[in-house]
Chain A
Amino acid sequence: MILAQCITSFIAAAGFGILFNAPRNALIQCGLVGMFGWLLYYILVAEGIDVVPATVFAAMLVAVLSHICAKLYRTPIIIFNVSGIIPLVPGGIAYDAMRNFVENDYFHAVQLSAKVMLLAGAIAIGLMFSEVVNQLFRKSWDWLKP
């Protein structure tokens, strides 16, 4: 079961890399970043943690891995984190919410839209958090150095 999740999340992230016209030699890394992020999310949710904190942690992992890839391959970080974050993005719920809206089921639609906002916020916080940590790290390094 977990193997199937590994393979499909790898394909999904690398496939979105192609759709987003990512450089050819970055596709494998995009897939791996997406795979690890999704695995963390999947395991956390299976352990009974709510989806929003699970998404925050998975997005942090994606951001850290993207930072490492960006440093290693000297490319902008956006290439890795955009495709890596795709499995976590609440596209399915956004679609579900809209379908409920157009079917006049506002009760569920509003609930789902709120969830989408929370999840999108969770992803943004996860991504931003690692940038903030990176800046703090760099600044304190400069500060400690005489």
Chain B
Amino acid sequence: MDERRVISNVCILAGKIMLESGAETYRVEDTMNRMAGAFELTEAESYATPTGINFSTDSEEASHFRRISKRSTDLHKIAEVNNISRQIVAGGLDPREALLLLKGVSSSKEQYPSWLLILAAALVSGSFAIMFGGLWHDFLPAFLAGGVGFAAMIGFEKLVETRFFAEFFASFVIGILAVGFLHFSIGINLDKIIIGAVMPLVPGLHITNAVRDLMAGHLVAGVSKGVEAMLTAFAIGAGVAVVFAFI
């Protein structure tokens, strides 16, 4: 491979990892341009959207394209890519070394086991029930419903390809559990329990990121992320509403 090809692979892989980990598009483009600039490709242009990246090293070269199909939030990977890009800008890495490091980051596993994620989701749910004005009686049901709901989300995500349905089923489970707990008079405020329990699923971060992208002038990315967030919120609302329809 010639040098330019390697450099554009480095930039695109870095952008891909960042987008898949939930970084804002303006940050992604900024990082890619900085890396290209450090490799003395000052004419490089990048264009990132939540579903794909375009990158060209020069106006006379062919541009490269990469599709982004899976998106989640992974701060560890963003930090690692940022670290590598800083090393590149400081001049400490040549393109081939950088490519190897980035491939390592791309294939790295999650650092927390599933049970810890579920426990964290459960604690978050219980805490939010209190923060939104619930009583301590609501902590336990929100804790349980949130943990089971998040576990259901992880399970359904493996079974069904569409994230929408996984979210729908998970919030359906949460709704049933919350109503069930209240039936056996564990907990007092149904609304607080459900809001607390769905918080780990709610796309709060996407809503905020969408507005930040819009303000940074990335209109396509901002609008599409906003729609994604609305779709998720709709899935969650619908899942709970199905339960309410039956009681």
Instruction: List the interface of chain A (C-beta within 8 A of B).
Output: 4-5, 7-9, 11-12, 15-24, 38, 75-76, 78-79, 82-83, 85-87, 89-92, 94-99, 101-103, 116, 120-121, 123-125, 127-128
Closest to A100 in B: B237
Complex Cα–Cα for A91 and B15 (A): 28
Query: Could you say which residues of chain A place their CB within 8 Å of the CB of B120?
Result: 15-16, 18-19
A19-B117, A24-B111, A92-B195 in contact; A120/B131 too (CB < 8 A)? no
Asked if B228 is at the interface (CB within 8 A of a chain A CB), the reply is no
- State whether A98 touches B234 (Cβ < 8 A): yes
Query: Could you say which residues of chain B place their CB within 8 Å of the CB of A22?
Result: 75-76
A120-B211, A124-B215, A128-B212 in contact; A12/B127 too (CB < 8 A)? yes
A4-B130, A97-B233, A98-B236 in contact; A19/B124 too (CB < 8 A)? yes
Complex Cα–Cα for A5 and B5 (A): 53
Complex Cα–Cα for A19 and B73 (A): 8
A76-B78, A124-B215 in contact; A21/B233 too (CB < 8 A)? no
Query: Could you say which residues of chain A place their CB within 8 Å of the CB of B128?
Result: 8, 12, 92
- State whether B238 touches A8 (Cβ < 8 A): no
A9-B127, A102-B237 in contact; A20/B211 too (CB < 8 A)? no
Interface size class of B (residues with CB under 8 A): 35 or more
Asked if B65 is at the interface (CB within 8 A of a chain A CB), the reply is no
- State whether A91 touches B204 (Cβ < 8 A): yes
Query: Could you say which residues of chain A place their CB within 8 Å of the CB of B237?
Result: 95, 97-99, 101-102
Asked if B210 is at the interface (CB within 8 A of a chain A CB), the reply is yes
Q: Which of B182-204 contact A (CB under 8 A)?
A: 194-195, 198-200, 202-204
Complex Cα–Cα for A79 and B76 (A): 8
Q: Which of B144-172 contact A (CB under 8 A)?
A: none
Query: Could you say which residues of chain B place their CB within 8 Å of the CB of A89?
Result: 202, 204-205, 207-208
Q: Closest approach, in angstroms, between the C-beta of A93 and any C-beta of chain B? A: 9
- State whether B27 touches A92 (Cβ < 8 A): no
Asked if B45 is at the interface (CB within 8 A of a chain A CB), the reply is no
Query: Could you say which residues of chain B place their CB within 8 Å of the CB of A121?
Result: 211
Complex Cα–Cα for A96 and B132 (A): 12
Complex partner residue of B205 from A7, A18, A23, A82, CB under 8 angstroms: A82
Q: Closest approach, in angstroms, between the C-beta of A133 and any C-beta of chain B? A: 15
Complex Cα–Cα for A16 and B125 (A): 10
Query: Could you say which residues of chain A place their CB within 8 Å of the CB of B207?
Result: 89-90, 94, 116, 120
Interface 1/0s, chain B 211-247, versus A by CB < 8 A? 1101100000000000001000110111011001000
Query: Could you say which residues of chain A place their CB within 8 Å of the CB of B234?
Result: 98, 101-102
Q: Closest approach, in angstroms, between the C-beta of A139 and any C-beta of chain B? A: 17
- State whether B131 touches A91 (Cβ < 8 A): no
Query: Could you say which residues of chain B place their CB within 8 Å of the CB of A85?
Result: 205, 208
Q: Closest approach, in angstroms, between the C-beta of A47 and any C-beta of chain B? A: 17
- State whether A124 touches B236 (Cβ < 8 A): no
Query: Could you say which residues of chain B place their CB within 8 Å of the CB of A125?
Result: 215
Apart from A5-B131, A21-B76, A91-B199: 5 A-B pairs, beta carbons within 8 A: A15-B124, A19-B120, A22-B75, A82-B75, A94-B204
A89-B208, A103-B244, A123-B208 in contact; A23/B76 too (CB < 8 A)? yes
- State whether A23 touches B75 (Cβ < 8 A): yes
Asked if B82 is at the interface (CB within 8 A of a chain A CB), the reply is yes
- State whether B208 touches A124 (Cβ < 8 A): yes
Q: Closest approach, in angstroms, between the C-beta of B134 and any C-beta of chain A? A: 10
